[in-house]
Amino acid sequence: MKKTIPLTPAESVVLSLNSGSSSLKFGVYRVTAVQTERLLSGEAETLGAGKSGFHAMDAQRHSIANEDQSMTTMAQVMQRIDKLIADSHLPALDAIGHRIVHGGPKLRQPCRIVHDVILELESVANFAPLHTPASLEVIALAAQTFPGLPQVACFDTGFHEHMPEIARVLPLPKALRSQGIQRYGFHGLSCESIVQQLGADMPARLIIVHLGNGASVTAVRRGVSIDTSMGLTPSGGVIMSTRSGDLDPGVLIYLMREKKLDAAAIETLVDHESGLLGISGADSDMRRLHTAAATHADARLAIAMFCYSIRKHIVAMMAVLSGADMIVFTGGIGENDAIVRSIICADLAWAGVTLNDARNKTLSNPVSDASAGCVVLVLPSQEDEQIARHTAAAFS
């Protein structure tokens, strides 16, 4: 039998929940004033797809659950997480923290989840229809599964709250802007975790390149976001796995007028059928596209367009920052795909960005050449740890 891990005074134990439309990442963290320690972490994925997966690791990254089973609901996942925590003999939970993609104009900074917060999230759910309904379901299930525990909402938009007007304001009539239609920016918890990891090594001019199923590029000046590629919703900006990123508005008007697509059909098109999937006509997963690229011209085009889109936005952020001292790649693709990093950076030597091929392949930071004018690092996106920090701070 495993021994219970003791909890000492001035520490909090937080369950972080990071929900997607068909997945849920989770972690249990011990948070003190000086460090955040992972006690357990895992993910439930492809829920409702017939064959779902549930995987978890302990503090030493040893597997403690590796299950392929037909979990079709978030309720089943929450029950499985509850049992996993109990079987692991962890200290009692003090609070639960949630990643919330979009809180609209009123909710940006971490806050305790009370009735009024739920009502506000429901009122702005259309800003992030892929994410907010799933988050609201997880909040309700967490309250049922762990009754009495306080819950905290941590917003992906918070890191970008202080972007200057020139970056935040969209070129629309003021009457619409007053209704909260603006550039919000996302992947904020990921960006915060990069700033946290850099610590005293934070440069004056930093570009964070978060590449996963969703992707974004953010300009950070002295630790503060001053511009980012995503806009009102997480659908904008660079090309993504199934999201189109930025489009000529005329394309959408054409589809509505000539092809008779309604709002739901357009949403499905730009969020689920475009991006890498739409270009390749085959797949949205970069790993499988690399395999297909040897014989599939559209797969090669999808990879090239993705990297081209990222490169253009990196250069745009360089213009915003008047150069760049450091670029950090993060996210599932950013952390694990040396080929993509190499393609993106290949034509940036003029800006001082030169990768060291061997270090890039072996993930030895920095992955840039020693003589490069801009340092390039690969760092993990630690969203769940950031959720735990915010949650503990809300009750300190």
Closest by CA to 19, choosing from 140, 116, 150, 108, is 140
Give the ranges where 124-235 is alpha helix by DSSP (H).
Answer: 132-145, 165-168, 174-177, 188-198
User: Which listed residue (58, 156, 227, 271) is catalytic?
Assistant: 156
Closest by CA to 158, choosing from 245, 114, 97, is 97
Beta-sheet strand order (sheet of 12-19): 63-69, 52-58, 36-45, 24-31, 12-19, 95-100, 151-155, 111-112
Spatial contact of 211 and 334, defined as CB atoms under 8 Å apart: yes
Q: Is 156 a catalytic residue?
A: yes
Residues contacting 174, CB < 8 A, separation 6+: none
Distance of alpha carbon 303 from alpha carbon 343, whole angstroms:
9
CB atoms within 10 A of CB 112: 13
3-state secondary structure at position 149: coil
User: Annotated catalytic sites, by residue?
Assistant: 156
